[in-house]
């Protein structure tokens, strides 16, 4: 099963390699990873999408927590949270498909952020499922290039955080 885990880490040299090395070294799956500093510049927050059975997920959260540079580990699975991902999609849009591309972007509340005679680049945000759907619809028109940020998540309201520590 898919799990989305947030990890608060020291903003230190080499932390990313400790985390990614932990996953590769122990044979854990890593589907997406995003990382950036938090309000407190001495810490970074990572969002990791991984998968595995309960035992594997328990090991992953424990192993993450065991790293000295890890301050907090939160597995959002089963909790109430908001999940958003951003994608930049360069679509081959010429002649007849130009209008169609714009319409689709509009339906998905995407924004056109770059235009050339032969392409539109669309910026879209939403749940990973929404991004998937947008990509599927644009695919027949012709996607030249695609970049996704991987999801970031945050708990809803004051509650809904399951701390794994």
User: Which residues of this protein are in contact with other proteins, per CB under 8 A?
Assistant: 9-10, 13-14, 17-18, 21, 25, 55, 58-59, 62-63, 65-71
Q: Which is nearer to other proteins, 14 or 41 (CB)?
A: 14
Q: How far apart are CA 102 and CA 119, in angstroms?
A: 11
Question: In angstroms, what CA-CA distances link 158 with 75, 154, 161?
Answer: 16, 11, 8
Nearest CA to 61 out of 39, 78, 37, 36 is that of 78
Helix (H, G, I), strand (E, B) or coil at 44: strand
CB of 52 vs other proteins, minimal distance in Å: 13
- Residue pair 121/114 in contact by the 8 Å Cβ criterion: yes
Q: Which is nearer to other proteins, 21 or 78 (CB)?
A: 21
CB of 3 vs other proteins, minimal distance in Å: 17
Q: Which is nearer to other proteins, 71 or 137 (CB)?
A: 71
CB of 37 vs other proteins, minimal distance in Å: 16
């Amino acid at each position: 099963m898919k799990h989305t885990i947030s990890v608060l880490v020291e903003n230190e040299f080499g932390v990313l390699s400790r985390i990614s090395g932990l996953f590769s070294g122990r044979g854990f799956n890593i589907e997406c990873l995003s990382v950036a500093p938090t309000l407190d510049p001495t810490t970074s927050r990572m969002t990791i999408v991984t998968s595995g059975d309960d035992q594997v997920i328990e090991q992953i959260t424990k192993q993450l927590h065991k790293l000295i540079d890890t301050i907090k580990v939160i597995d959002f699975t089963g909790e109430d949270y908001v999940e958003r991902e951003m994608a930049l999609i360069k679509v081959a849009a010429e002649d007849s498909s130009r209008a169609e591309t714009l319409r689709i972007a509009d339906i998905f509340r995407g924004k056109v952020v770059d235009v050339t005679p032969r392409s539109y680049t669309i910026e879209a945000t939403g749940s990973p499922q929404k991004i998937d759907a947008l990509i599927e619809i644009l695919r027949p028109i012709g996607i030249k290039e695609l970049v996704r940020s991987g999801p970031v998540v945050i708990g809803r309201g004051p509650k809904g955080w399951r701390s794994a520590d």
